[in-house]
Amino acid sequence: MADDDRGRGGLRAFASRPGVRNLILPTAMLFAGGISYGSIPAANKYAIEAGFPFIAFAFWQVLFAGVALLILAALRSDLPKLSLAHLRLYALLAVIGVLAPLLVFVSVAEKLPPGVVMLVLTLNPTTTYLFAYVMRVESFRWLSVAAIAFGFAGVLLIVLPEGSLPAPGMAIWVVFALLAPLAASVNNVFAASLRPPQTTSLSLAAGLMLTSALFMLPIVLIMHGPYLITAAEPVGQWSAVWAAAAQAITYVCFFEIVRRAGPVFFAQLNYVVVAAGLIWARLLFHEVLSLWVWGALVLMVGGLLLANAGTAQAQRVAAQAQRVAVKRDQN
């Protein structure tokens, strides 16, 4: 059986077995990862405003996260595996799941309010379905199509009306920020389908962060030379530690949630990320969003609800088909 067939079968297995796993721990991890990841745009904003070059800042946060996770993995005798399957997963997810969203978020840190940056993540479940449909992992569902329409309408409410953003020039940066949920969607599908068996979430997260740092090192050297963390202002240094801790927590939770409950359940993390991001922005920057942005939030959350309803519908259909097949085999 080809790799993609195994991956699709694994994804469909998650979709057709609702309620099999105990969801208490995955739910707790949703909140831990969501609250952590929701704080990263605030850390980015502090660092960039302090003059920390954004490529160097992205490098140092993933390096710190990787080293911290490597130490924890070594203490547990659970170092990252270096088989071809593991290296392929590290490399693929490093580019798509870590570096692409990270560079997008750091790039827009000075261009957009943190609350608006968080809003684009509500599109993640919708774009995950869209990518899975294109890859023929998911079937056509009207509810999921409606979710895509709601999410797109929410984006239009942010970028089109005058006064929805503090400055008109910010609209193009909102469109650029959409690359983050698109990359995260591809990442969710690949993480579920390509994970090697008998691999812990801690070792996967450590390998992923270190691979991401390794990929970023030549970029940093080309753009900024050997930019040491000590060259940054103290607020930038603490922001790097803050973002690194958030990355480490989020990716351990990510791998464990996908392992225990599947990528569809993990997509709900975006509820927590958006709520946490708005709260962080309000507490740290006293950010006030326009009515247009709040309207976009309503539409995007509506899209999330429709996406979840579409997924639940697909689960019921798959479960019913499975029961029919079992009865047919028994007869």
Side-chain half-sphere of 302: how many Cα atoms within 13 Å? 15
Predicted confidence band of residue 21 (pLDDT cuts 50, 70, 90): very low
**In the predicted structure, residue 227 carries a pLDDT above the cut 50:** yes
Mind spelling out the 3-state secondary structure of 87-151? Answer: HHHHHHHHHHHHHHHHHHHHHCCCCCCHHHHHHHHHHHHHHHHHHHHHCCCCCCCHHHHHHHHHH
Please report, for residues 68, 90, 138, 145, 208, the alpha-carbon distance to residue 75 in angstroms, rounded to integers and kept in the order given.
11, 21, 40, 47, 18
Query: What's the rounded Cα separation, in Å, for the pair 145 and 153?
Result: 12
Tokens representing 187 are: 């990442």
Please determine, for residue 221, whether its predicted confidence score (pLDDT) is greater than 50: yes
Instruction: Give the pLDDT band (50/70/90) at residue 235.
Output: very high
Burial class (CB in 10 A: 0-12, 13-18, 19+), 216: buried
Q: What pLDDT is attached to residue 310?
A: 67
* pLDDT level of residue 20 (50, 70, 90 thresholds): very low
Report the b/e string of 27-37 with b at 16+ CB within 10 A. Answer: eebbebbbbbb
The span from the first CA to the last CA of the chain, in angstroms, equals 29
pLDDT tens digits along 272-297: 777 777 778 778 877 666 777 677 77
Whole-angstrom Cα distance, residue 126 to residue 144?
7
Both tokens of residue 223? 């753009």
Residue 143 pLDDT class (50, 70, 90 cuts)? confident
Q: What integer pLDDT is reported at residue 252 of this predicted model? A: 93
pLDDT-derived band at 233, boundaries 50, 70, 90 = very high
User: What is the average pLDDT value for the chain, to the nearest integer?
Assistant: 77
Asked if the model's pLDDT at residue 193 lies above 80, the reply is no
The one-letter amino acid code at 328 reads R
Query: CA–CA separation, 111 vs 114, rounded Å?
Result: 9
**Least confident piece of the model among 3-17, 200-214, 250-264:** 3-17
Measure the CA–CA gap between 287 and 202, rounded to whole angstroms: 35
For the residues 294-318, what does the mean pLDDT come to? 70
Helix (DSSP H) and strand (DSSP E) numbers for the chain: 15, 0
pLDDT digits (tens, 9 = 90+) for 64-113: 999 999 999 999 999 999 999 899 999 998 988 888 887 787 777 677 77
Given a cut of 90, whether residue 7 has pLDDT beyond it is no
pTM of the predicted protein model: 0.70
Band of pLDDT at residue 217, cut at 50, 70 and 90: very high
The whole-number pLDDT of residue 18 equals 43
| Nearest CA-CA partner of 305 in 270, 276, 279 | 270
